[in-house]
Amino acid sequence: MPRKKEVVSGTFVKYDAVVLGSGPAGEGAAMKLAKSGKRVAIVDVREQLGGNCTHVGTIPSKALRQTVSNIIRYRRDPMFKKMGDWRQFTMKQVLQSAHKVIQQQVETHSRFYDRNEIAIYHGRAYIQDKNTVLVFGADGIKETIMCHQIVIATGSRPYRPEMLDFNHPRVFDSDKILDLDFSIQKIIIYGAGVIGCEYASIFIGLDHKVDLINTQHKLLSYLDDEISDALSYHLRAQGVLIRHNEQIDHLETFDDHVVLYLQSGKKIKADAILWCNGRSGNTDGLGLENVELKPNSRGQLTVNDQYQTEVDNIYAAGDVIGWPSLASAAYDQGRCAGANMSGEENVAPVTDIPTGIYTIPEISSIGKTEQELTEEKIPYEVGQASFRHLARAQITGDTVGELKILFHRDTLEVLGVHCFGNNAAEIIHIGQAVMNSPNNTIKYFVETTFNYPTMAEAYRVATLNGMNRLF
């Protein structure tokens, strides 16, 4: 385990590079720089490593989702009907398994830093100039770190509009919701992006009533239309009430409930509200004005293809630069930034990113959608496999879902893969591997033997389905 550095007022230490933040982007950059032979230090505001991803984001929410998925599976299995009333569980109880995972993650990542001899500083980072970072502790004592390069990987936090009082015990954002420790029956989720849809799945899985307020005309409009429609259908089938094209007017809070007033004139009463409408980059108080860096209105920094900011020795990666705000992309962005900082040539920026949305069931996609291919006038065909026809899905009981392959009808090149259903985020990578291979063709899926029964078999079924449409 890396030891916390003794902070002594007026002490100067020198490093080749300082990374601000120990989430996926910070870790990716630090590891790449260390393996390139540079002396690297990490500064993190938490006493434990891992960033928001480990402590309040990806890891706890996905561990929570897994527990809820297990509850749903037990509920539908007649053998487990007498196991108890799952509806009595509070969020706090269900999250207990997540805390164990968080600690395991912290220990794992700490070993990585230790093994690569990366120095760890716990405290608040402040950029004094382009070569100096100050670290402030709770007692105000500071350490001065001199460096040649800086990586800003401070992540993001939920956007909090001024009209809402987040100190109220019944007003939550996606960080605060992990501390929900009282029973609720109905919750309003405002914002139907990835986080809003994921939490809608979780709460409906715990038998809560859910009102999902969407500010757009449809759910996750950047997805393939069919996948987006499937998500809407299954959320509604589970009991989620989805309201499209709505905007908040104001919120009234009471000791035992909240009332949301919408601009359309509707008003909704619930036990609590979860605000999931956007995120802000963690750039406040970093001292960016000292190096003439100006974040946008959401606190995000602009970078070039090398993840370099307008200051030549300062780089940024992860949620602090905005889209796609995924842990997987953040790690790769950090590695790319580290590679560019080390002088590697021809480092490709991170563009080929699969979407992983952990609703119940989950969604994953890569490549073009049908809408995009139609607009670009590319002659494509569709191959589909419904999960309900697969032996493995019938065995596990996860028969909701489908795999959809889009391919060029002349060259048979795979152009896009879209999956909705259990384990979609795993299944997608088979399609991704083929798309990125030099011999990208759907013939791979019929000329390769898959284990039986597996979910991977969906690729063979979908390919045969698509090839039957060719003439």
- Band of pLDDT at residue 236, cut at 50, 70 and 90: very high
Q: Is the pLDDT of residue 149 over 90?
A: yes
Percentage of the chain lying above the pLDDT 90 cut: 75
Which structural domains are found in the chain, ordered by start? 12-56+96-156+280-341 (3.50.50.60), 171-277 (3.50.50.60), 361-467 (3.30.390.30)
Query: Over the stretch 293-343, which tens digit does the pLDDT of each residue have?
Result: 999 999 999 999 999 999 999 999 999 999 888 899 999 999 999 999 999
DSSP 18-79: EEE--SHHHHHHHHHHHHTT--EEEEESSSSSSHHHHHTSHHHHHHHHHHHHHHHHHHH-GG
Quick one: pLDDT band at residue 84, thresholds 50, 70, 90?
A: low
Helices (H) and strands (E) in the chain, counts: 13, 22
Q: Has residue 1 got a pLDDT over 70?
A: no
Specify whether the CB–CB gap between 49 and 76 falls below 8 A. Answer: no
Mean pLDDT computed over 404-424: 97
C-beta of residue 141 within 8 angstroms of C-beta of residue 8:
yes
Residue 85's pLDDT band (boundaries 50, 70, 90)? low
Tell me: pLDDT of 358 over 80: yes
Residue 375 has pLDDT above 70, yes or no: yes
Q: What are phi and psi of 231, to 5 degrees?
A: -60, -45
Burial tier of 138 (Cβ tally within 10 Å: 0-12, 13-18, 19+):
exposed
Block residue for tokens 């989702």: 65
Omega of the bond prior to 24 within 30 degrees of 0, cis? Answer: no
In degrees rounded to 5, what are phi and psi of residue 234? Answer: -75, -30
Tokens of 138: 């709770």
Cα separation, 85 vs 65, in Å, equals: 18
Residue 50 scores a pLDDT above 50: yes
More confident residue, 205 or 91: 205
**Which of 128, 135, 129, 127 minimizes the C-alpha distance to 152?**
127
pLDDT at site 173:
94
- Whether 240 has a pLDDT exceeding 50, the answer reads yes
**CA-closest candidate to residue 17, choices 270, 337, 318:** 337
- pLDDT tens digits, 250-269: 999 999 999 999 999 999 99
Q: What pLDDT shows up at residue 5?
A: 43
Q: Is the bond leading into 361 cis (omega within 30 degrees of zero)?
A: yes
Q: Quick one: pLDDT at residue 89?
A: 65
Least confident of 137-141, 222-226, 232-236: 137-141
**pLDDT(10) > 90:** no
- Between 85 and 147, where is the model more confident? 147
Which pair of tokens denotes residue 67?
């527990």
Q: How far is CA 147 from CA 109, 134, 374, in A?
A: 24, 11, 50
pLDDT confidence bin for 364, thresholds 50/70/90 = very high
Percent of the chain with pLDDT over 70: 94
Give the mean model confidence (pLDDT) for residues 129-153: 89
Q: What is the mean pLDDT of the chain?
A: 91
Confidence band of 178 (pLDDT split at 50, 70, 90): confident
pLDDT at 333: 96
pLDDT at 230: 94
pTM of the model as a whole: 0.90
What number is the average pLDDT over the span 279-286? Answer: 94
Nearest to 277 by CA among 383, 172, 367: 172
